[in-house]
Amino acid sequence: MESLHFIRPLWFVALAPILVLAWFWFRRTRSGSAWQNAISSELLPVLLDVQESRSGQWLRGIMLTAITLAVIGLAGPTWEKLPQNVEQKNDALVVLLDLSLSMWAEDVKPSRIVRARQKITDILRQREEGLTALVAYAGDAHAVVPLTDDVATIENLLGALDPGMMPVLGSNPSHGLEIAKGLFSNANMTEGRILMITDGIDRISAVSKHRNRAFPISIIGIGTYEGGPIPLDSDAEPPRYLMTQEGNQVIALLDERRLTEVANLSYGKYSKLSLSDTDFRVALSTPLPTEDASIEVEREFDSWFDQGHWLAAALLPLCLLGFRRGALIMLAFAVATPGFDAAAAPTAAGETAPGTIWDKLWWRDDQRAHQALTAGEPERAAILFEDPQWRAVARYRTGDWTDALRGFNQDTTTTGTYNRANAHARLGNYQQALDLYGQVLAAAADHEDAAFNKALVERLLQQQQQQQADAQQDSTEKQQKQQSNDSEESPSENQQQSSDQESNESPSQSNEEQRESEQDREGEDEDQQRQELVNRDEKQEALEQWLRRVPDEPGGLLRRKFQHETKQRLRNGDYEHRQGDKVW
């Protein structure tokens, strides 16, 4: 019963009027008993129908019990998961974002590119079903995210997109549409919508040649009729703007007539950017051949099985008891009050999982642990997690790397190997960490985090070895110096006599020189210790900075991805996407 919770807990709000009704009935019963106390027991059978009063109490009890059971059943009690097939709406959308230099124009505040990213975010948050992809284009196009139902990933990458990251300048929507068609084909989609967010199209044929009724192309235009200059360095004094070869300032205009014509020719709709969601609702209202169809996704997920029907069955004897009393009323009360272990559930580590019984009624331990981990409470999450790998992650975040390593050792996947490498690096076992990073890169050569951490640990290992070598060298020099001092303290007889004589002549001077020598040696030892502490702190700081970093800025990764794809196209002889004369 530890997994017992309710799918629709808001139904318990209905218990409030039930309690009020029970209170009124209780008062009525008390008023009846007052007459019984005031009338002699010999006269009660004549003046009051005691049997009828008791029957009414039984009836009220049965009704209250039945209503309570009905509310509990409607709340959806569950304690078991069953696999269910996944289906989703056959609604695929590819968003084409214009990243030409004109999107830096500030005729709409704060800039066209910022407003475009905000609008795409609004679209993603409104999409409850279907697949979504994102393509960015300038002089050439690149798929940022393929068709997926994980819109959170798209939203995470969206903030990194900027015209300055595109390897080829210009505006080539045709290549972006080719990429979009390839994404539809790779996902085996026979229909879908394409939404272009742009501030202009130079050639109508660049878009209209891709027209297909099964893949309508809609457009959201960004900008103003008056247009605006294109800032290249807005922080400079004075600001620098894009200029033509003749020295004239480039003004990026929004030609809505052309964009409307392109959308109509491509079976789509045009809408100008607005603060509300009217623009994308209009643009995405184009019908598809099978608008209401759904497709079955090739995966299953476990869903909680609603057990409320058992309480519906328990209502049947209560309904019968509403007409005829019987001993089954006790069974009904037993069903209405299911057993629940009020004690805190012990975890695998022998600790008691924190949290109230009320929390356990609605959430499982793993769910509450994930909430605690997200809220920055890894200590509490480590106690609650039942899954050993998640518990190891929580232990890692608390700094208990030894315990985390024991959990990671149970995971034989590439992710487990990578986590073990990080834990060894945290513990200072650099060579073990390097060996594990090598295993990760051998299995996944494109694992950038493993490659980066491996290079970092190699530098830390070199520093450690250098420090050990320096310490060994200092130790050797001290031994040699000590041996030299010992040999100086055992001179020949004549030298000893001369030394004794000098010592007798100036004992204070000899003692002073000896103290100065000892102070110098102590100062050297303190300087060396301080240097070792500084090096250790720098090494620990570097380890903290890189091994625990969370890459929430994916701009560099996307920039390198775009550059790599462009170089591959040029190597393959695809010269169509080289930079043209118009760079905006």
Phi, psi (degrees; rounded to nearest 5) at 395: -60, -40
CA separation, residue 542 to residues 280, 451, 536 (Å): 46, 16, 10
Residue 63 to residue 58: CA distance in whole angstroms:
9
Instruction: Report, in angstroms and rounded to the nearest whole number, the Rg of the chain calculated over CA atoms.
Output: 39
Give the model's pLDDT for residue 192.
Answer: 93
Give the model's pLDDT for residue 260.
Answer: 94
Give me the helices (H) in 266-413, please: 278-283, 309-321, 329-336, 357-362, 365-374, 378-384, 388-398, 401-408
In one letter, which amino acid is 497?
A: Q
Q: Kindly report the number of other CB atoms within 10 A of residue 426's CB atom.
A: 20
Give the model's pLDDT for residue 57.
Answer: 63
Query: Using CB atoms within 10 A of its CB, is residue 296 exposed (0-12), middle (13-18) or buried (19+)?
Result: exposed
> Contact at 8 Å (CB) between 103 and 228?
no
Peptide bond into 238 cis (omega under 30): yes
Phi, psi (degrees; rounded to nearest 5) at 299: -165, 165
Give the model's pLDDT for residue 505.
Answer: 45
Structure tokens at 131: 């697949």
| Residues whose CB is less than 8 angstroms from the CB of residue 177 and which lie 6 or more positions away in sequence, other chains included | 96, 194, 207, 210, 217
Q: What is the DSSP string of 173-198?
A: HHHHHHHHHHHHHHTT-S--EEEEEE
Measure CA of the first residue to CA of the last residue in the chain; give whole Å. Answer: 64
Tokens 């569950």 identify what position? Answer: 78
Q: Cα 545 from chain centroid?
A: 20
Residues in the chain: 584
Structure tokens at 70: 């009905």
Reported as type and span, the H/E element at residue 144 is strand 141-148
Burial code (b: 16+ CB inside 10 Å, e: under 16) for 245-257 equals eeeeebebbbbbe
Tokens 């109490």 identify what position? Answer: 57
Reported as type and span, the H/E element at residue 86 is strand 81-89
What domains can be seen in the chain, in order of their start residue?
A: 5-80+307-336 (no CATH), 89-296 (3.40.50.410)
Residue 152 to residue 159: CA distance in whole angstroms:
12
Give the model's pLDDT for residue 290.
Answer: 77
Structure tokens at 132: 């979504």
Give the model's pLDDT for residue 573.
Answer: 78
Q: Average pLDDT of each block of 10 consecutive residues along the chain (584 residues)?
A: 78 84 70 58 58 57 78 82 61 94 93 95 89 94 92 89 92 94 92 95 92 94 93 77 86 93 94 93 88 52 70 73 49 43 37 47 72 80 82 84 85 86 86 89 84 84 80 75 61 46 46 56 59 59 54 70 89 67 75
Segment 75-100, tens digit of pLDDT: 888 877 766 655 555 689 999 999 99
> Contact at 8 Å (CB) between 392 and 407?
yes
